[in-house]
């Protein structure tokens, strides 16, 4: 199956117009999103193939590894191609494999932004997303520090991750928010209201875990019969549904394999009928 990212449409973030099918770089780390990948050379090949195939949005975070994902991105791609948008995140502390703790103290966020600039080898981050809202720190203080960093020229655009509509609007009273990254896929639509709100407000919605950590791609997938009818894979169908469901969605499937990367990006050529959209939407 061919790849045609132009068919996915585009969104503009921080002055860069990017295709609506990106790449999530969390998988370029070890088990539990901790430590280096099992195959460092393959991780480099994946990132270089991402760019070769025309993907122009790569999503990462300081906590992936921690730090490993950002470092591999720089090793593979720096100096970065013109037009490539690298989105990173701050606000999660890692204490071990699979362990995540929200920390939104302004001084910590500032430190992590400074370190991401250094690791990625850039003077300004294209998009910095608050990885989680720290319930112990006023949201206005967390977003306010990102706004200060934006004013200083260290961040081009600000986004949020795992927020409600109320939190999004609270943040927008402090700074312009250009993206929201929440867990969302065919079988987990708890953030439907947030997606609809982003659609009305023209805010990019980046659904992470777009194929349910593989649950929508494996044997017995609830989309398997639709995939068979289309001559596609369940993962491709799941991604195609996300792209068709809303014009502001920007799925970021991740992988540590070049073959799997190419398979995911071929979702760009999968067309679902209105009947298939309705059927999948009723899952």
Nearest to 101 by CA among 67, 76, 69, 136: 136
Residues in the chain: 283
For helices 68-77 and 106-120, give the axis angle rounded to 10 degrees: 30
Backbone angles phi, psi at 47, to 5 degrees: -65, -40
Residue 64 annotated to the active site = yes
Catalytic residues: 64
């Amino acid at each position: 199956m061919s790849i045609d990212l132009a068919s996915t449409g585009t969104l503009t973030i921080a002055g860069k117009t990017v295709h609506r099918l990106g790449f999530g770089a969390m998988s370029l780390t070890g088990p539990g999103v901790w430590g280096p990948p099992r195959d460092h050379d393959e991780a480099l090949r994946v990132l270089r193939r991402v760019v070769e195939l025309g993907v122009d949005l790569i999503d990462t975070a300081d906590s992936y590894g921690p730090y490993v994902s950002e470092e591999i991105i720089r090793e593979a791609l720096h100096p970065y191609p013109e037009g490539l948008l690298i989105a990173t995140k701050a606000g999660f502390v890692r204490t071990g494999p699979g362990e995540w703790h929200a920390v939104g103290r302004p001084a910590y966020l500032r430190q992590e932004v400074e370190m991401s600039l250094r690791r990625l080898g850039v003077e300004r981050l294209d998009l910095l997303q608050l990885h989680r809202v720290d319930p112990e720190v006023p949201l206005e203080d967390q977003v306010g520090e990102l706004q200060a960093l934006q004013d200083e020229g260290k961040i081009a655009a600000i986004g949020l991750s795992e927020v409600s509509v109320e939190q999004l609007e609270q943040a927008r009273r402090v700074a312009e928010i250009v993206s929201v990254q929440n867990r969302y896929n065919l079988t987990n639509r708890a953030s439907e209201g947030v997606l609809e709100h982003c659609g009305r407000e023209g805010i990019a919605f980046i659904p992470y875990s777009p194929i349910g950590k593989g649950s929508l791609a494996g044997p017995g997938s609830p989309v398997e019969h639709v995939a068979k009818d289309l001559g596609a894979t369940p993962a491709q169908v799941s991604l195609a549904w996300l792209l068709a469901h809303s014009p502001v969605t920007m799925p970021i499937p991740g992988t540590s394999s070049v073959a799997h990367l190419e398979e995911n990006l071929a979702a760009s050529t999968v067309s679902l009928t209105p009947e298939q959209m309705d059927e999948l939407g009723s899952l």
